[in-house]
C-alpha cells in the first residue's frame, strides 16, 4: 500500500503527541506489528508508543532511484512497491518482516553486502523522533549529521525512524545461481574473498554472494547474477526447501522476488524445529503460514510458556541454550572461526555472508573497505553437564573478539559494561545521546541490549 506525505505528517504528529503523553518515569516501547529481535524483555514499568499509520511506502521515484518510506514499513512491502519499476533497495535483509527503521537503527545484511555494505549505507535522509521529543531530519550533510552517523546500531536508544529516504538500484527479472562446493574452509574463504574483490566468477560479473557451511567437509559459496530471461524458475515456497537445494544442484534460477525471499519460507532452516520440513506436515501447512514472522511468534510463545524445556525434562534430555547470533569476522579469520564453532558449539548449518562497510559508522566500527564474513547461526544446543545458560554465547563472544570481529546486538549479549562501551564506541555514543536525549527518557544502548531492560 502507498500513502501520501500529508497523511504521513498526520501520523508523525500522532506519534509525537503519543510520546509526549507517556509519563516521565515510564520507559517508552515502540508498539510494532512485527519484531525480529531475540532479546525478550520483562515489561517492567514501560509504556507503549503508538506507531499507527507509519508502515507504508510514501513514494517510489524511478528517475532519482529513491523511495520515501515510513519507518515501520516492512521490506516485503517496499519490494512489492519497487519491483514493478524494475528497482530494489541496495541491500534487502533476508526476512520479509524486517522493517526499514529496524534495519537502520539495528543492522541487516544480505548477499549484496559484499559490494553495498549494510542497509543504512544506502540511506540518504532520516526523519527521527528523538529522545527529547523533537522531530528532526538528519542527513550526512546537515546540522544533525552526528545523529545520522550514530543512528545505525543504536537500537532505538537515540530515537525512532519515522521516514527514510533510501536509494534504489535497477534489477532484471531473474537471478541465475551457481552453488560452488568446498571441502576445506580455508579454500572456501579464499574463494569468497577472490570473488568479492574481483566481483566476478568464471569470467562473468557477480551481483550476489553468500554461502552455507554444513560441516567441515561440505560448504558452499553461492554466486548470483542478474538475467533478463531464464530457462526455468524454481519455487521454494511450497514442498521444496531452498537450503536443501544447494546440496542437490550446482545451477538454479529464481525470479528476483523469489530470490530476495528465498530464506524466508523456512526462516533459513529453523522451520525444522517446528516440524515444517517433514513432508506430511509441510503438505498440510498453508503457504501463508510458512513465513519467518509466524515462526518468530511460535518462539515467543515457547519463551513465555517453556514448552520445549518441559518436553526436554519429560524426555530426560539435557537443558538447552538458545544460540541465536550474527557475527562479523575478517575473511582471513573465517576458517579459524568455523573451526572453533564446529569444535565448541557444533550447530549446523551456518549462514555465511560477506560484507564490506562502505563508510565509517561509529557505533558498529567495522574497518571501511575491509572484507568481513557474517556467520549466522540460530538454534538450541544442549549444555554440558555442570554448565549454565550463557555458556556457549560467552564462548562465541570471546572467540569473535579474539579474531578482531564484531557481534550484532539483536540477541543476547553478556559483556561487562566497560568492555561493551569499548567495543561499541561509547566515546562516539554518549555525546550524541546527551544531545538528543539529555534526560535519558530512552534506555541507553548497554541497558537495552545487554541488561535487557
CB 89 within 8 A of CB 110: no
pLDDT at 39: 47
DSSP state of 71: T
Contacts of 276 (CB under 8 A, 6+ apart): 266, 282, 285, 290, 295
Contacts of 400 (CB under 8 A, 6+ apart): 327, 328, 329, 337, 406, 407
- Residues 307-327: pLDDT tens digits? 555 555 666 566 889 899 999
Residue of higher predicted confidence among 290 and 121: 121
Just give the CATH number of 5-171+430-449.
3.30.465.10
Q: Sorting pLDDT into bands at 50, 70 and 90, what band is 373?
A: very high
pLDDT at 8: 94
pLDDT at 315: 60
- Write down the mean pLDDT value for the chain: 91
CB 158 within 8 A of CB 151: yes
For residues 393-400, average pLDDT: 96
Kindly state the cell numbers that stand for 131: 529522545
Please calculate the CA angle 27-30-34 and round it to the nearest 5 degrees.
145
Of the listed ranges 11-20, 270-279, 290-299, the one predicted with least confidence: 290-299
The answer to whether residue 173 scores a pLDDT higher than 80 is: yes
List the chain domain ranges. 5-171+430-449, 174-262, 306-414
The answer to whether residue 31 scores a pLDDT higher than 80 is: no
CB 105 within 8 A of CB 114: no
- Residues 217-251: pLDDT tens digits? 999 999 999 999 999 999 999 999 999 999 999 99
Backbone phi and psi for residue 97, each to the nearest 5 degrees, phi listed first: -95, 10
- Residues 68-112: pLDDT tens digits? 999 999 999 999 999 999 999 999 999 999 999 999 999 899 999
- Residues 347-358: pLDDT tens digits? 999 999 999 998
The position carrying cell 516440524 is 275
DSSP state of 278: S
Please give the CATH topology (third level) of the domain spanning 306-414. Answer: Alpha-Beta Plaits (3.30.70)
Phi-psi region of 86 (alpha: psi -120 to 50; beta: other; left: phi over 0): left
Report d(CA 404, CA 407) in Å as an integer: 10
Report d(CA 169, CA 116) in Å as an integer: 11
For residues 29-49, average pLDDT: 61
Report d(CA 366, CA 213) in Å as an integer: 23
Burial 115-135 (b: 16+ CB within 10 A, else e): bbbbbbbbbebbbbbbbbeeb
Percent of residues, the chain, with pLDDT higher than 90:
77
CB 177 within 8 A of CB 256: no
Count of helix runs (H) and strand runs (E) in the chain: 16, 18
Amino acid at each position: 500500500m502507498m500513502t501520501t506525505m500529508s497523511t504521513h505528517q498526520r501520523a508523525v504528529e500522532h506519534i509525537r503527541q503519543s510520546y509526549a503523553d507517556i509519563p516521565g518515569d515510564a520507559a517508552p516501547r515502540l508498539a510494532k506489528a512485527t519484531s525480529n529481535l531475540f532479546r525478550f524483555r520483562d515489561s517492567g514499568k514501560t509504556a507503549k508508543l503508538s506507531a499507527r499509520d507509519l508502515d507504508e511506502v510514501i513514494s517510489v521515484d524511478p528517475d532519482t532511484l529513491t523511495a520515501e518510506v515510513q519507518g515501520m514499513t516492512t521490506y516485503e512491502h517496499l519490494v512489492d512497491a519497487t519491483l514493478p519499476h524494475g528497482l530494489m533497495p541496495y541491500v534487502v535483509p533476508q526476512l520479509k518482516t524486517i522493517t526499514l527503521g529496524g534495519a537502520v537503527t539495528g543492522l541487516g545484511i544480505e548477499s549484496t553486502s559484499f559490494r553495498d555494505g549494510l542497509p543504512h549505507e544506502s540511506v540518504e535522509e532520516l526523519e527521527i523522533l528523538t529522545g527529547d521529543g523533537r522531530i528532526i531530519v538528519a542527513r550526512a550533510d546537515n546540522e544533525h549529521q552526528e545523529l545520522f552517523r550514530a543512528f545505525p546500531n543504536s537500537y532505538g536508544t537515540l530515537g525512532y525512524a519515522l521516514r527514510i529516504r533510501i536509494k534504489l538500484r535497477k534489477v532484471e527479472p531473474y537471478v541465475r545461481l551457481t552453488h560452488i562446493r568446498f571441502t576445506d574452509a580455508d579454500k572456501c574463504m579464499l574463494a569468497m574473498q577472490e570473488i568479492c574483490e574481483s566481483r566476478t566468477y568464471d569470467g562473468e560479473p557477480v551481483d550476489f554472494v553468500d554461502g552455507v557451511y554444513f560441516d567441515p567437509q561440505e560448504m558452499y559459496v553461492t554466486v548470483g547474477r542478474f538475467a533478463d530471461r531464464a530457462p526455468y524458475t524454481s519455487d521454494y515456497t511450497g514442498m521444496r526447501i531452498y537450503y536443501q537445494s544447494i546440496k542437490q544442484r550446482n545451477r538454479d534460477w529464481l525470479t528476483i522476488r523469489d530470490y530476495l525471499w528465498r530464506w524466508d519460507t523456512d526462516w533459513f532452516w529453523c522451520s525444522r524445529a517446528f516440524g515444517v520440513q517433514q513432508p506430511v506436515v509441510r503438505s498440510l501447512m498453508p503457504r501463508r503460514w510458512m513465513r519467518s514472522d509466524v515462526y518468530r511468534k511460535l518462539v515467543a510463545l515457547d519463551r513465555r510458556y517453556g514448552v520445549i524445556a518441559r518436553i526436554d525434562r519429560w524426555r530426560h534430555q539435557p537443558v538447552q541454550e538458545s544460540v541465536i547470533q550474527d557475527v562479523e569476522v575478517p575473511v582471513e579469520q573465517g576458517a579459524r572461526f568455523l573451526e572453533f564453532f564446529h569444535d565448541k558449539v557444533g550447530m549446523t548449518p551456518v549462514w555465511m555472508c560477506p560484507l564490506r562497510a562502505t563508510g565509517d559508522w561509529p557505533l558498529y566500527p567495522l574497518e571501511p573497505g575491509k572484507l568481513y564474513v557474517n556467520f549466522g547461526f540460530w538454534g538450541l544446543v544442549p549444555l554440558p553437564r555442570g554448565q549454565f545458560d550463557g555458556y556457549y554465547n560467552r564462548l562465541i563472544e570471546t572467540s569473535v573478539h579474539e579474531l578482531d570481529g564484531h557481534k550484532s546486538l539483536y540477541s543476547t549479549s553478556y559483556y561487562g559494561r566497560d568492555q561493551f562501551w569499548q567495543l561499541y564506541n561509547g566515546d562516539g555514543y554518549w555525546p550524541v545521546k546527551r544531545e538528543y536525549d539529555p534526560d535519558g527518557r530512552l534506555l541507553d544502548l548497554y541497558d537495552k541490549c545487554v541488561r535487557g531492560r
